[in-house]
Structure 1
Protein backbone atom coordinates (compact mmCIF):
# COMPACT_ATOMS: atom_id res chain seq x y z
CA UNK A 1 0.00 0.00 0.00
CA UNK A 2 1.37 3.39 -1.04
CA UNK A 3 0.77 5.94 1.74
CA UNK A 4 2.30 9.40 1.93
CA UNK A 5 2.71 11.08 5.34
CA UNK A 6 2.57 14.82 6.05
CA UNK A 7 3.32 15.56 9.74
CA UNK A 8 3.01 18.87 11.60
CA UNK A 9 4.27 17.73 15.01
CA UNK A 10 0.80 17.15 16.49
CA UNK A 11 -0.88 15.11 13.78
CA UNK A 12 0.06 13.47 10.50
CA UNK A 13 -2.10 13.54 7.39
CA UNK A 14 -1.98 10.21 5.60
CA UNK A 15 -2.77 10.20 1.87
CA UNK A 16 -3.47 7.03 -0.10
CA UNK A 17 -3.34 8.03 -3.79
CA UNK A 18 -4.99 4.81 -5.00
CA UNK A 19 -8.13 5.66 -2.99
CA UNK A 20 -8.31 9.28 -4.16
CA UNK A 21 -11.43 10.06 -6.21
CA UNK A 22 -10.16 13.57 -7.08
CA UNK A 23 -13.42 15.09 -5.82
CA UNK A 24 -11.53 18.25 -4.87
CA UNK A 25 -13.04 18.59 -1.39
CA UNK A 26 -9.60 19.13 0.12
CA UNK A 27 -8.56 21.83 -2.37
CA UNK A 28 -11.90 23.65 -2.08
CA UNK A 29 -11.91 23.55 1.73
CA UNK A 30 -8.26 24.44 2.43
CA UNK A 31 -6.61 25.74 -0.75
CA UNK A 32 -3.72 27.15 1.29
CA UNK A 33 -2.86 23.56 2.35
CA UNK A 34 -3.70 21.49 -0.73
CA UNK A 35 -2.16 22.44 -4.07
CA UNK A 36 -2.06 19.57 -6.59
CA UNK A 37 0.44 21.47 -8.75
CA UNK A 38 2.99 21.91 -5.93
CA UNK A 39 5.44 19.39 -4.50
CA UNK A 40 4.81 18.46 -1.80
CA UNK A 41 1.15 19.07 -2.60
CA UNK A 42 0.08 19.10 1.06
CA UNK A 43 1.51 21.90 3.24
CA UNK A 44 0.27 21.12 6.75
CA UNK A 45 1.96 24.20 8.19
CA UNK A 46 -0.63 26.42 6.47
CA UNK A 47 -3.51 25.42 8.79
CA UNK A 48 -4.12 24.48 12.41
CA UNK A 49 -4.34 20.85 13.44
CA UNK A 50 -8.06 21.25 14.10
CA UNK A 51 -8.65 22.76 10.64
CA UNK A 52 -6.81 19.81 9.11
CA UNK A 53 -8.79 17.27 11.16
CA UNK A 54 -12.09 18.92 10.20
CA UNK A 55 -11.18 18.97 6.51
CA UNK A 56 -9.93 15.37 6.40
CA UNK A 57 -13.23 14.24 7.93
CA UNK A 58 -14.92 15.59 4.75
CA UNK A 59 -12.82 13.54 2.32
CA UNK A 60 -15.42 11.54 0.35
CA UNK A 61 -13.10 8.74 -0.76
CA UNK A 62 -11.24 8.14 2.50
CA UNK A 63 -7.93 8.77 0.75
CA UNK A 64 -7.02 11.27 3.49
CA UNK A 65 -6.86 10.23 7.12
CA UNK A 66 -5.32 11.49 10.35
CA UNK A 67 -2.77 9.85 12.60
CA UNK A 68 -2.51 11.56 15.98
CA UNK A 69 0.79 11.83 17.78
CA UNK A 70 1.01 9.50 20.74
CA UNK A 71 2.37 11.20 23.83
Structure 2
Protein backbone atom coordinates (compact mmCIF):
# COMPACT_ATOMS: atom_id res chain seq x y z
CA UNK A 1 0.00 0.00 0.00
CA UNK A 2 1.37 3.41 -0.96
CA UNK A 3 1.95 5.99 1.74
CA UNK A 4 -0.69 8.67 2.09
CA UNK A 5 1.10 11.94 1.37
CA UNK A 6 -0.44 15.40 1.56
CA UNK A 7 1.13 18.73 0.67
CA UNK A 8 0.27 22.21 1.94
CA UNK A 9 1.92 25.41 0.67
CA UNK A 10 2.02 29.08 1.63
CA UNK A 11 3.63 29.99 -1.69
CA UNK A 12 7.17 29.98 -0.25
CA UNK A 13 7.42 26.64 1.50
CA UNK A 14 5.52 23.39 0.99
CA UNK A 15 4.84 21.21 4.05
CA UNK A 16 4.79 17.51 3.18
CA UNK A 17 2.96 15.16 5.56
CA UNK A 18 3.35 11.40 5.30
CA UNK A 19 0.46 10.18 7.43
CA UNK A 20 1.65 6.60 7.75
CA UNK A 21 4.92 7.75 9.35
CA UNK A 22 3.28 9.99 11.95
CA UNK A 23 3.93 8.95 15.57
CA UNK A 24 1.53 11.58 16.96
CA UNK A 25 4.19 13.08 19.24
CA UNK A 26 2.18 16.33 19.30
CA UNK A 27 5.35 18.42 18.83
CA UNK A 28 4.02 20.09 15.69
CA UNK A 29 0.76 21.43 17.06
CA UNK A 30 2.12 22.20 20.50
CA UNK A 31 5.01 24.13 18.96
CA UNK A 32 3.15 25.98 16.21
CA UNK A 33 -0.63 25.78 16.77
CA UNK A 34 -1.38 28.48 14.21
CA UNK A 35 -0.19 26.11 11.48
CA UNK A 36 -0.84 22.65 12.95
CA UNK A 37 -4.27 22.05 14.51
CA UNK A 38 -5.37 18.42 14.76
CA UNK A 39 -8.95 19.48 15.58
CA UNK A 40 -9.49 21.13 12.18
CA UNK A 41 -9.56 19.93 8.59
CA UNK A 42 -7.30 20.45 6.89
CA UNK A 43 -5.17 20.18 10.01
CA UNK A 44 -2.21 21.96 8.41
CA UNK A 45 -2.68 25.63 7.48
CA UNK A 46 0.64 27.09 6.34
CA UNK A 47 -0.77 30.61 6.27
CA UNK A 48 -0.83 30.45 10.09
CA UNK A 49 2.90 31.04 10.48
CA UNK A 50 5.93 32.47 8.78
CA UNK A 51 8.05 30.40 6.44
CA UNK A 52 10.88 30.49 8.99
CA UNK A 53 8.60 29.30 11.82
CA UNK A 54 7.28 26.46 9.67
CA UNK A 55 10.76 25.28 8.70
CA UNK A 56 12.00 25.31 12.29
CA UNK A 57 8.93 23.41 13.56
CA UNK A 58 8.98 20.81 10.78
CA UNK A 59 12.65 20.10 11.58
CA UNK A 60 11.54 19.06 15.10
CA UNK A 61 9.28 16.23 13.85
CA UNK A 62 10.75 13.10 15.47
CA UNK A 63 9.27 10.60 13.00
CA UNK A 64 10.07 12.45 9.79
CA UNK A 65 6.38 12.42 8.86
CA UNK A 66 6.64 16.16 8.31
CA UNK A 67 9.17 17.48 5.84
CA UNK A 68 9.32 20.58 3.67
CA UNK A 69 10.62 21.92 0.41
CA UNK A 70 11.02 25.45 -0.76
CA UNK A 71 8.50 26.36 -3.43
CA UNK A 72 10.03 27.35 -6.74
CA UNK A 73 8.71 30.46 -8.39
The answer for unaligned runs of 5 or more in structure 2 is: none
Query: Residue 11 of structure 2 aligns with which residue?
Result: 9
- Output the TM-score relative to the length of structure 1: 0.94
CA RMSD in angstroms comes to 0.8
Query: Residue 64 of structure 2 aligns with which residue?
Result: 62
Query: Residue 39 of structure 1 aligns with which residue?
Result: 41
- Output the TM-score relative to the length of structure 2: 0.92
**SS at structure 1 position matched to 2:14:** strand
Spell out structure 1 runs of 4+ moving beyond 4 A.
Answer: none
The answer for unaligned runs of 5 or more in structure 1 is: none
- Whole-Å separation in 1 of the counterparts to 2:34 and 2:51: 14
Q: How many residues align?
A: 71
